[in-house]
């Protein structure tokens, strides 16, 4: 794979929650350090060493030095390259965040279509899918 000049962030472009989270971060990327990519597109998924199920389970981030980070650690990588939030990237690497962050991220990722999270709703997160929502097959059984 050719070297990158910015982070490539592989997310579910059909997920309202994922798009909401992206919308929170992108305005702070004034230097163009982030490249969000929708892994639902076959040519985008082919850029990664991950299966569709692995991509659907959690966000993946590829750094310019070709390291991969998943889930919580992907967010740490994102915050670390944003000048205004680089301090947060460092803080999230401390105990207890490095212990609590990954399971919390996995809980949110696993339930992003299913449960209302009142605090996140107060912050503008989208409503969860109801029984009429057509979930992508790759995430129905996460």
Domain count of the fold of the chain: 1
Given a contact cutoff of 8 angstroms between Cβ atoms, the answer to whether 11 and 38 are in contact is: yes
Domain annotation covers residue 136: no
For the segment 44-102, what is each residue's pLDDT rounded down to a tens digit?
Answer: 999 999 998 899 899 999 999 999 999 999 999 999 999 999 999 999 999 999 999 99
Would residue 142 count as lying in a domain?
Answer: no
For residue 100, is it within any domain? yes
Is 140 within a domain? no
Backbone angles phi, psi at 32, to 5 degrees: 65, 40
Q: Which domain holds residue 57?
A: 7-129
Say if pTM beats, i.e. exceeds, 0.75. Answer: yes
Quick check: 37 and 11 in contact, CB under 8 A? yes
The answer to whether residue 138 sits within a structural domain is: no
Other CB atoms within a 10 A radius of the CB of residue 92 amount to: 18
List, for residues 125-134, the tens digit of each pLDDT value.
666 654 444 4
Is 135 among the domain residues? no
Tokens representing residue 76 in the block: 């740490």
Whether residue 137 is contained in a domain is answered as no
């Amino acid at each position: 794979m050719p070297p990158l000049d910015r982070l490539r962030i592989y997310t579910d472009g059909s997920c309202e929650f994922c798009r909401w989270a992206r919308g929170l971060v992108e305005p702070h990327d004034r230097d163009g350090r982030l490249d969000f990519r929708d892994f639902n597109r076959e040519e985008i998924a082919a850029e990664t060493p991950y299966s569709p199920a692995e991509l659907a389970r959690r966000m993946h981030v590829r750094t310019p030095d070709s390291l991969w980070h998943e889930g919580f650690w992907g967010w740490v990588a994102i915050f670390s390259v944003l000048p205004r939030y680089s301090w947060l990237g460092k803080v999230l690497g401390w105990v207890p965040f490095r212990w609590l962050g990954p399971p919390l991220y996995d809980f949110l990722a696993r339930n992003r279509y299913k449960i209302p999270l009142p605090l996140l709703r107060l912050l503008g997160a989208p409503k969860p899918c109801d029984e009429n929502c057509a979930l992508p097959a790759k995430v129905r059984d996460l």
